[in-house]
Amino acid sequence: MSKAQRDKQPLVALRWWLLLAILNALLATVCASTSQAGRGLRESHKAVVALESLATITEVTVPRIDAWFARAASLTNGSSADVRRQVESLGRDVPALVSQLDRWKNSARALESAGKEFPWEWPLEIDKCENDRLVAKWQADRQSIRVEQTKLETLAPPILEAGTNLLRVAHDIGPIRLPVVNPKNLVATQKRISKLADAWAPLASGLLEMAREARVCAALVSGITETVEEVERHNAAVAQTLRAMELSDVSALQSPNAAEAHLRRARMKFDRRDLHGARSDCTQSLELNPDWTRALSLRAEVEFLARDLDANIADLSRVLELLTNSASGYGSAAEWGLANHRLASAYGLRADSELAQNNFAGALADSNRYIELTTNGFWASFQRVRIYATSGQLEQALQACDALIELWPRSAEAYRARGRTRISSGDVAGAMADFDQALKLAPGDVGTFVIRGIANYDLRTWTNALADFRKASARPSDYSDYAAFRVWLIRARLGDPAGATRELQRHMRSHRVGNAAPWSLAIASFLSGQMSEQEFFAAAVSPLKQKDSEQHCEAWFYAGSKHLFVGDTATAKAYLEKCRATNVRLFTEYNSAAAELKFLEREEAKRK
């Protein structure tokens, strides 16, 4: 090796810039890939291999660089030939170290590639997997990976800082050329090598610690992969049973997966709003597994929508009893967390049913338990606002609304709730300001247009109400039909029943084709003159007490309004009072009937 060649061979051939670049990519990739779980088994297996490979290469590379620095620091003041042999030996090691760093770089790239294909979301729709043990195992695996991610995120800043410092030192001291054989140059060179060694030491220890954590990550990802494989097998077995059931293969019902297959079919029917079919499948599932809380919970949801509230409360009470009694039997925090979530949901759902039945004390007690147990504090607190407002405790309702807005100042629902409460308490200006703020936070929100429209309707500001209801009816939603009914009421009141009917019929054709709720169709037919009053009241009858009360509340209101518009005040007043007698306080028709009766009383007092 000539002197010119030696002079051109810098120690920075170790490529410190490459080391730092790899380090940045490595930490970013590990943190990203462990914050995402596996879509598909192939990607998770790739991530395990990449993590293990990276850990192995790190554990090999770091000691080799340590040894190189140790040898470089021990250059002696021997003869010229001795020093030259030592330095040339160090130089010969550089390509091997660079090759090792290249392997490290390739391993980091492999991990990065695996991480990009390794999303966190559960690939097999975990919420539709009804096996509680697998759900709990999945959640435990996911939580463990999140804990490990936190460790990596804690490790990352000091390692990156050490790497940045190493790069700065290497840049500051410049290329380290082979020393000319004299004491001064040798000492100066050793000092510069020593500076690099000092900068390398904290980085080396950090990298080794990170390699250990990479192995932990690999084990965790491997564990969650096993869970995915188990769930795939489980789902395949249930799907097979479900297919057999669809083919009416009675022998399939002997399968241990039959209860779950019935429940999955119930969920599919529930999503299609086939409430009768969903309830039937839930019941069959419970015949096979009587104490299955998931089946009981889904049947309770079906019963709530069907307005069979007594059955709904009975099923939810059974869910609460089963979950509470088995609380001590959960083997992991994840299992307890899952049960805790279900407890909270059951209390919240039962509170809704109790509120609909005007059982305010029970609803408030259950809502308080819901707030204690749930992680979804907004909706639990929102429910308590509804309970206070519906029970007439307006001061408490306003205080709860204020607390809600303080915690969630960007929530349109919070402002909408306070606006509605302020209307009830007589603060019209404050209510309208809240509605305006709700629409600023959620422009085009159908719920806000409907609630503000009802407020304007009850205040008899017809033009404003009409504008709000038209905006709401133009957007498909659970509110759109009832907004269209109010449009009809306003136009008929203002003397244009024919135009009102044409607009309502256009709405029903465009929004409800093939998907019309029978009771909504009955209201539309009655308002447009296609159904007689006698037929309308007959359609309102239901064997379910709650449903019967709710449909009659609406029927008396709409029939009374029609009588009012044609000047039959006596019949209108009698019908509106019957609407109030149903005591369905959650319905807007109940409150609008009260507003109409107050207006009629004032008009009668004026005439006297």
SS3 65: helix
Continuous segment of H or E residues that includes residue 124:
none
Q: Which residues contact 129 (CB under 8 A, 6 or more apart)?
A: 135, 231, 234, 235
How far apart (Å, rounded) are the C-alpha atoms in residues 523 and 497? 15
How far apart (Å, rounded) are the C-alpha atoms in residues 441 and 414? 11
Angle at 36 between CA 214 and CA 237, to 5 degrees: 110
Q: What is the pLDDT averaged over residues 396-424? A: 92
Q: Is the pLDDT of residue 95 over 50?
A: yes
How far apart (Å, rounded) are the C-alpha atoms in residues 122 and 104? 31
Is-contact 596 576, C-beta < 8 A? yes
Is-contact 450 468, C-beta < 8 A? yes
pLDDT in tens, 431-467: 999 999 999 999 989 999 999 999 999 999 999 999 9
Sign of torsion over alpha carbons 260, 263, 269, 273: negative
Q: How far is CA 473 from CA 443, 453, 459, 494, 545, in A?
A: 15, 11, 20, 19, 29
Is-contact 275 259, C-beta < 8 A? no
Confidence class of residue 490 from pLDDT cuts 50, 70 and 90? very high
Domain identity same for 92 and 151:
yes
Domain identity same for 193 and 51:
yes
More confident residue, 572 or 9: 572
Domain identity same for 115 and 221:
yes
Position 426 scores a pLDDT of 85
DSSP 475: S
- Residue 554: inside a domain, yes or no? yes
Position 112 scores a pLDDT of 61
- Residue 252: inside a domain, yes or no? no
Position 249 scores a pLDDT of 60
Q: Which residues contact 343 (CB under 8 A, 6 or more apart)?
A: 320, 323, 324, 373
DSSP 585: T
Domain identity same for 52 and 63:
yes
Q: What is the pLDDT averaged over residues 80-92? A: 67
DSSP 222: H
Angle at 546 between CA 579 and CA 393, to 5 degrees: 65
pLDDT in tens, 173-182: 766 555 544 4
More confident residue, 410 or 82: 410
Domain identity same for 412 and 492:
no
pLDDT in tens, 517-566: 789 999 999 999 999 999 999 999 999 999 999 999 999 999 999 999 99
Both tokens of residue 274?
């086939």
Q: Which residues contact 143 (CB under 8 A, 6 or more apart)?
A: 333, 334
Domain of 502: which CATH number?
1.25.40
- Residue 584: inside a domain, yes or no? yes
Domain of 308: which CATH number?
1.25.40.10
Position 194 scores a pLDDT of 80
Domain identity same for 29 and 87:
yes
5-9, 92-96, 144-148, 172-176: least confident range: 5-9
Position 511 scores a pLDDT of 65
Position 8 scores a pLDDT of 37
More confident residue, 228 or 2: 228
Task: Give me the domain span that covers residue 568.
Answer: 532-608
Residue 562 buriedness (CB in 10 A; 0-12 / 13-18 / 19+)? buried
Domain identity same for 198 and 81:
yes
Q: Is the pLDDT of residue 103 over 80?
A: no
Is-contact 594 580, C-beta < 8 A? yes
Residue 401 buriedness (CB in 10 A; 0-12 / 13-18 / 19+)? buried
pLDDT in tens, 236-259: 777 777 777 766 665 555 566 788
End-to-end C-alpha distance for the chain, whole angstroms: 122
How far apart (Å, rounded) are the C-alpha atoms in residues 575 and 564? 10
How far apart (Å, rounded) are the C-alpha atoms in residues 143 and 334? 8
Angle at 296 between CA 293 and CA 301, to 5 degrees: 125
Domain identity same for 472 and 426:
no
Position 38 scores a pLDDT of 38
- Residue 246: inside a domain, yes or no? no
Confidence class of residue 514 from pLDDT cuts 50, 70 and 90? very low
Domain identity same for 469 and 386:
no
Q: What is the largest CA-CA distance in the chain?
A: 128
Angle at 502 between CA 498 and CA 508, to 5 degrees: 140
Q: Is the pLDDT of residue 287 over 50?
A: yes
Token match 């120690």: residue? 11
- Residue 274: inside a domain, yes or no? yes
Domain identity same for 471 and 602:
no
Position 153 scores a pLDDT of 73
- Residue 112: inside a domain, yes or no? yes
Number of domains in the chain: 5
Domain identity same for 91 and 223:
yes
Amino acid at 399: Q
Q: Is the pLDDT of residue 423 over 50?
A: yes
Where among 472, 491, 522 does a domain terminate?
522
Considering the entire predicted model, what is its pTM? 0.65
With b meaning 16 or more CB within 10 Å and e meaning fewer, what string describes 404-418?
Answer: bbeebeebbbbbbbb
Is-contact 547 536, C-beta < 8 A? no
Where among 316, 333, 366 does a domain terminate?
366
Q: What is the pLDDT averaged over residues 16-26? A: 46
How far apart (Å, rounded) are the C-alpha atoms in residues 274 and 547? 17
164-173, 270-279, 296-305, 474-483: least confident range: 164-173
Chain center to CA of 7:
62
Continuous segment of H or E residues that includes residue 35:
none
- Residue 244: inside a domain, yes or no? no
pLDDT in tens, 314-326: 999 999 998 888 7
Mean pLDDT of the chain: 80
Chain center to CA of 358:
31
With b meaning 16 or more CB within 10 Å and e meaning fewer, what string describes 358-388?
Answer: ebbebbbebbebbbebbeeeeebbbbbbbbb
Domain identity same for 75 and 213:
yes
Position 76 scores a pLDDT of 59
How far apart (Å, rounded) are the C-alpha atoms in residues 288 and 285? 5
Chain center to CA of 447:
21
Confidence class of residue 228 from pLDDT cuts 50, 70 and 90? confident
Token match 């009012």: residue? 564
44-48, 63-67, 308-312: least confident range: 44-48
Both tokens of residue 238?
């249930």
- Residue 247: inside a domain, yes or no? no
